[in-house]
Structure 1
Amino acid sequence: MLQFGMPTLIENKTLEDNISLCKELGLKFIELNMNFPEYQVEQLENTDRLLKLADEAGIYFTIHLDENLNIADFNSLVTGAYLETVQSSIAVMKKLLPLRDKYGDSTQPLTLNMHMHHGIYITLPDKKVQMYDRDFDTYMKSFATFRTLVSEWIGEDDILVVVENTDGFRDYEKKSIEYLLESPKFGLTWDIGHSKAIGEKDVPYILEHRDRLVHFHIHDGSENPPKNHLALGDGEIDLQDRLSLAESRNARCVLETKTIEALRKSVKWLGDKGRMS
Structure 2
Amino acid sequence: MKKIIFGMPTLIELDTLEDNVKLCKRLGLNFIELNMNLPQYQIEKIDIRKLVEMQRKEKIYFTFHLPEEIDIASYHEKIKRVHLDTIREVIEISKIIKSPIINIHMNLGVYFKMPDYKIYLYEKYFNEFYNSILNFRMLVEEWIGDSNIKISIENTGIYNFDFILKAVSELLISDKFVLTWDIGHDYSSGEIDTKFIIDNINKLKHMHIHDAKGKDNHLSLFSGNINIEDKLNIAKNTGSACVIETKTIKGLEQSVRELEKLGYSLGDSNYCT
TM-score, structure 2 normalization:
0.94
Following superposition of structure 1 onto structure 2, how do residues 114-133 of structure 1 map, counting pairs within 5 Å? 114-133=104-123
Matched AA of 2:141: S
SS in 2 for 1:72: coil
Q: Could you say what secondary structure the match of 2:57 adopts?
A: helix
Q: Deviations over 1:189-213 (max 9, x none)?
A: 0000110111111101110000100
1:168–1:195 CA contact under 8 A, matched in 2: no
Q: Which residue of 1 aligns with 2:197?
A: 206
2:50 matched to 1:19? no
Q: Gaps spanning 5+ residues in structure 2: where?
A: 267-273
2:20 partner letter: N
SS of aligned partner of 2:150: strand
The within-5 A match list for 1:43-82 is 43-44=45-46, 46-82=47-83
Q: Give the % identical residues.
A: 43
**Are 2:188 and 1:197 equivalent residues in the alignment?**
yes
CA deviation after TM superposition for structure 1 residue 55, in Å: 2.0
Aligned ranges for residues 1-277 of structure 1 at < 5 Å?
Answer: 1-44=3-46, 46-97=47-98, 110-169=100-159, 170-223=161-214, 226-277=215-266
Deviation at 1:15, TM superposition (A): 0.3
**Which residue identity does 2:135 align to in structure 1?**
T
Count of residue correspondences: 263
* Cα distance in 2 for residues equivalent to 1:217 and 1:155: 26
CA distances 1:33-65 after superposition (whole Å, capped 9, x unpaired): 110111111123x31111112322221101001
Partner of 1:253: helix, strand, or coil? strand
In the superposition, the TM-score normalised over structure 1's length comes to: 0.93
Question: What is the root-mean-square deviation of aligned Cα atoms in Å?
Answer: 1.0
Q: Per-residue deviation at 1:126?
A: 2.7
* 2:270 aligned partner: none
**1:200, 1:124 → 2: CA distance?**
27
Aligned to 1:104: none
Distance, in Å, in 2 between the alignment partners of 1:125 and 1:197 is: 26
Residue by residue over 1:152-193, the C-alpha shift from the partner in whole angstroms, topping out at 9 and shown as x without a partner, is 000000010010011322211100000000100000000001
Matched residue SS, 1:70: coil
> Secondary structure of 1:63's partner?
strand
The question of whether the paired residues in 2 share the 8 Å contact of 1:5 and 1:27 is answered with yes
Unaligned runs of 5+ in 1: 101-109
1: CA distance, partners of 2:172 / 2:20: 32
Secondary structure of 2:78's counterpart equals: helix
Question: Could you tell me which amino acid in structure 1 is paired with residue 78 of structure 2?
Answer: L
Q: Which has the higher contact order (CA 8 A, sep 6+)?
A: 2
CA distance in 2, matches of 1:229, 1:82: 27
Cα distance in 1 for partners of 2:220, 2:7 equals 14
Amino acid at match of 2:225: E
Shift, 1:233, TM fit = 1.0
Q: Could you tell me whether the CA contact under 8 Å between 1:2 and 1:247 is conserved in 2?
A: yes
How far, CA to CA, are the matches of 2:39 and 2:102 in structure 1? 17
- AA matched with 1:208: D
